Chain A
Amino acid sequence: MTTMTHAPEADGERLRAALPAPDDAVMSRLHSRLAAQAGAAGILDVAYRTLDSPVGSLLLAATEKGLVRVAFAVQDHTLALRQLAERVSPRVLRAPARLDEASRQLDEYFAGRRRLFDLPLDWQLSRAFRRDALARLPEIAYGHTASYAQVAAAAGSPRAVRAVGTACATNPLPLVVPCHRVIRSDGSMGRYAGGTGAKRFLLDLESAA
């Protein structure tokens, strides 16, 4: 056997090479187990998953109270998760089970088989007037639209048209809380957090059904 110098870094490298990192199957199994145990222990403050949809990948997140965030891909899922960690709790884990029902209802909605969402909602990311304005939106029936001014009036502040616009732009629960049904008084579509293409798609979907 040749004698050689055993530099500590070389020993570490050899050891790490001989003890390879766990493969994806192991990590995936451990992750599922962690999510299940965390849920059972009541320390899974925010569970999330992504869902493929005709308007792109959706991030769905829920607390123990209910659905707390829906984010479009254009809103940046990584950023949305960071905001959840900051504003709700850093105990955030990918844990699809809690989003099963929300995913099912959204799939039905996009298939044209659902007009109303029946899900527990956690409104904590929306406060004060914005929350009041958003709370009126489910009153706009599927396939119909209302103007920002009409929503402002319904929320009890007829002059707060711009504030309604802001409330819609910052809606933490798009799709489920249908801000896509709010359009300009002149009938033009107005902006949308998921992009105007997504808003067009949703209005077309609902008028076709």
Chain B
Amino acid sequence: MSKPPFEQIVTDHGPTVFRVVRAVVGPHDAEDAWSETFLAALRGYPRLPADANVEAWLVTIAHRKAIDVTRASARRPAPVGEVPDAPTRLGLPQDADPDLWRALGDLPDRQRHAVAYHYLAGLPYKEIAALTGGTADAARRAAADGIRNLRGTYPRETDRMGR
């Protein structure tokens, strides 16, 4: 079995990885985190076993790069962690739901990671635990707590759900 051209990996998994890093590092640093992730993935791609789970491998890299990017961002003199107020920038997905971005950003790291990796990337809890440390059960609880907190801090979504 041979590996597909890397271009195929970018096409197939680029959008999912972008959602994951956007949820983990926020809209502002998402493009940097995505770029770092795929550059590192391209570098390591020849050594990836042909039968590997590519998406899980990418999320593993994205997790490390997200931590790097967040640290680098925190060291900058004027960090911009908040979503800028831009009510008319329709069509830009990062502005689609600023309340949800804020709610995600307010989650403790473990919860945000568990929510992003499980709900956006579809990673099993066992693999999330291998990434973030702790047990699979702890990852499951973190994801559940994260979702509950999102519901609580995201009234518009709750309204929609209640309707």
Binding site for B on A (CB under 8 A): 1-2, 4, 6, 8, 11-12, 14-16, 18-23, 26-27, 29-31, 33-34, 37-38, 41, 43-44, 46, 48, 81-82, 84-86, 89-94
Contacts and interface: CB of A to CB of B under 8 A. Distances in A.
Contact of B2 (A27, A34, A86): A86
Contacts of A33: 31, 35
B15 A27 contact: yes
A38 B42 CA distance: 8
Contact of A94 (B7, B31, B119): B7
B6 interface: yes
B39 to A, nearest CB: 5
B159 interface: yes
B150 A15 contact: yes
A91 B158 contact: no
A152 to B, nearest CB: 34
B75 to A, nearest CB: 21
Interface of B: 2-7, 10, 14-16, 18-19, 22-23, 31, 34-35, 38-39, 42-43, 45-46, 91-93, 96-97, 100, 115, 118-120, 147, 150-151, 157-159, 161-163
Nearest to B2: A86
A37 B45 contact: no
A21 B43 CA distance: 25
> Which are the 9 A-B pairs with shortest beta-carbon distances?
A92-B5, A1-B162, A12-B119, A85-B5, A21-B15, A90-B3, A86-B2, A22-B18, A81-B5
A31 B43 CA distance: 15
A198 B115 CA distance: 55
Contacts of A37: 35, 39
B4 A18 contact: no
Contact of A19 (B14, B34, B42, B97): B97
